[in-house]
Amino acid sequence: MNTKTRNLILNGLALAALVVFLYQAPGNLDRYKLRIINLIAINAILGLSLNLIYGMTGMFSLGHAGFMAIGAYVSALLILTAEQKTSMWILQPILPWLLNLHAPFVVSLIAAGLAAAFFGWLIALPVLRLGGDYLGIATLGFAEIIRILIVNLTPLTNGSLGLKGIPAHTDLWMSYGCLVAMLIFMTRLMSGNFGNVLRAVRDDEIAARTMGIDTFRTRVLAFTIGCFGGGVGGALMGNLITAIDPKMFMITQTYSLLMIVVVGGLGSITGSVIGAILVTTMLEWLRFVEEPITIGSLHISGIPGMRMVVFSMLLIAVIIFRREGIMGPREFSWSWFFPARKAEPEMKGGND
Amino acid sequence: MSLNMFIQNFINALGLGSLYGLIAIGYTMVYGILRLINFAHGDIFMLGAYFMFFATIRYKLPWAVGVLLAIAGSTICGLLVDRIAYRPLRSAPRISALISAIGVSFFLESLATVLFTGMPRAVLQPEWLMQPMLIRDGGIRLMPLGIMVPVISFILVGALLWVVHKTKPGLAMRSISFDIETTRLMGVSVDKIIALTFALGSALAALAGIMWALRYPRVEPFMGMFPGFKAFIAAVFGGIGSIPGAMIGGLTLGFVEIMSIAFFPTLSGYRDAFAFVLLIVILLVKPTGLMGEKLEEKI
């Protein structure tokens, strides 16, 4: 059996295991655990899309929360019914054309991704001419501008009140379906020639340009695809939590995505998935430090907010002590489980 | 708009702008030397305001003592941030230090939430700063604080320019920003000079934080976030690395914010967006800023 068929079979088995797990999970786990499992998938999608922008193409973007916001709002506005909309817009009436706009969930997801990608493309044209940290601060600025627009454009977005009562469409099938699609897309992308082009642009832009790569177009394309992922992730998030407001999409949201990408390993697809699992579960697990603990007669009252202190300390520690994250730029491969074959004779160089 | 209103807004803009300028100096000095956006700078500003709040309002220390303690405390924090989070990453890629800076900023904000609670606290303004002087038959209200803020800011900038251009450590700073390796070879203790830069920047940020807390009489853990971003933008606008540029950028931003709302009150909800729009415009039109020199791209 050659490596290709072996990997195909193993991938199929892994997918089947995932399907069995997703089939069994709702019956055996409580709502809280299911929500975390859902969040892991959504965070993995978001982490992968940010990794495409930052880890794989080397564009330091701090604007992901803004694209998530666009996705979440577009999807919610398409899903909510006219009655819900009229009862929610109490400060100012909703725009008339928006009131009766309605679409099924899957359509709204695609629309969310496309809207985020469109804005990402629009923003990329001026901003991607900048490099390094200027790009970071400019994208951060755009995310803030988007947030400020959402707060102020009340007839369109219901302002700072946010949107409530979004039907909880995001179930395990939906979120893991999107994740698997994203994973297949990313592995195909990165193992193909476009992946090499992205790495070339990241590692040495001038050399890439010398090789005839249109670096600017490549960066715009990667950024736009990444924003699409951000929009879909935001829409899934909104449909999981069922309520969104502008405060959800503050810069801290981008920080946790950055944490996922950095902890997992810049440029590694596997790393982003591991990062999403670790960061999501850790953020939930850390809630214990905020809860009162009683050990015998010793009573320690909970410290609200302590979770974020620990979280930020971990981010600093990772970047100082293990900059490349868990995976570094490496990827998971089935060959890890099989002993490497002896070097085949034809691989040897020379004629001796 | 009447002339009185205009003068009133002008004074407000001068105050706000000089505070942005003071914070921007810390960004511009650190960026000039290390090419690092010190995201934690806005949070040092926040700490300065909190230290002042606790010293003078909680523990009733005299104002002069409280202000000095706040400056000392923030300076120590600034030095610790450099020592713990930035110095280990000097030889790492620049983006690593930037992520570390983001982590530090996030850390200081959450720590402040834990220690001081997330609730905004009112700052009791001292009487003598708030006695309004009425000019032009009461058309303009001028408070001592309103005059003090720009005056103190300009004196500090003057003093800093003297340090940077006329003293030996200042010479070392300028030399490091030009070429860090050669400076090291000349026998300059680079880490000490960088620490000095952080100390000066943090002290200025603390003073700005104190004056900010007196002007908008409250303190809260996230108060440094937006002034910090905006001050960085001011530094980019003025030309990153240039101290007079930071001040000019700060004043420009102050005037843009106050005047555009004065002339178009309907825009007041978008106030925080102006700075970011300004940033994108300046980066597209003149990426080096008003007074900046071109940073050489090294191939």
Strands (E), chain B: 121-122, 133-135, 140-142, 218-219
* pLDDT surpassing 70 at residue B1: no
Task: Supply the DSSP symbol for B298.
Answer: P
pLDDT in tens, A179-223: 999 999 999 999 999 999 999 998 888 899 998 899 999 999 999
Partner-chain contact B37 A137, CB within 8 Å: yes
* pLDDT surpassing 70 at residue B238: yes
Q: What is the mean pLDDT of residues B143-156?
A: 89
Give the residue among A29, A43, A30 at the shortest CA–CA distance from A278: A43
pLDDT in tens, B157-187: 999 999 999 999 999 999 998 888 899 999 8
End-to-end alpha-carbon separation of chain B, Å? Answer: 53
Which token pair is A14? 């892994």
Most confident of A95-109, A335-349, B19-33, B262-276: B19-33
pLDDT in tens, B259-287: 998 888 888 888 888 888 888 888 778 77
- B234 vs chain A: nearest CA distance in angstroms? 12
Strand partners, A190: none
Q: By CA distance, what is A310's nearest residue in B?
A: B107
Task: Give the whole-number percent of chain A exceeding pLDDT 90.
Answer: 40
Domain limits, chain B = 3-285
| Predicted pLDDT of residue A25 | 84
* pLDDT surpassing 50 at residue A318: yes
Q: A303 to chain B: which residues are within 8 Å by CB?
A: 114
Partner-chain contact B114 A126, CB within 8 Å: no
- A144 vs chain B: nearest CA distance in angstroms? 7
Q: A138 to chain B: which residues are within 8 Å by CB?
A: 276, 279-280, 283
Sequence-separated (6 or more) residues with CB below 8 Å from residue B161: B243, B244
* pLDDT surpassing 60 at residue B298: no
Q: A253 to chain B: which residues are within 8 Å by CB?
A: none
| Predicted pLDDT of residue A352 | 45
Q: What is the mean pLDDT of residues A68-84?
A: 92
Pick the range with the lowest mean pLDDT from A162-166, B8-12, B295-299.
B295-299
- Strand pairing category for B218-219 and B121-122: antiparallel
Strand partners, A298: A295
> What Cα–Cα distance (Å) separates residue A47 from each residue in A174, A289, B3, B87?
17, 26, 54, 28
Residue B98 touches partner A, C-beta closer than 8 Å: yes
> What Cα–Cα distance (Å) separates residue A97 from each residue in A100, A162, A166, B228?
6, 19, 19, 40
Domain B3-285 sits in CATH 1.10.1040: no
Q: By CA distance, what is B114's nearest residue in A?
A: A305
Sequence-separated (6 or more) residues with CB below 8 Å from residue B15: B145, B146, B149, B150, B215, B254
Pick the range with the lowest mean pLDDT from A22-36, B11-25, B248-262.
A22-36
Question: What confidence category does residue B17 fall into, taking pLDDT thresholds of 50, 70 and 90?
Answer: very high
Q: What is the mean pLDDT of residues B245-272?
A: 90
| Predicted pLDDT of residue B295 | 55
Size of interface A-B (CB pairs under 8 A): 112
Question: What confidence category does residue B72 fall into, taking pLDDT thresholds of 50, 70 and 90?
Answer: very high
Question: What confidence category does residue A124 fall into, taking pLDDT thresholds of 50, 70 and 90?
Answer: confident
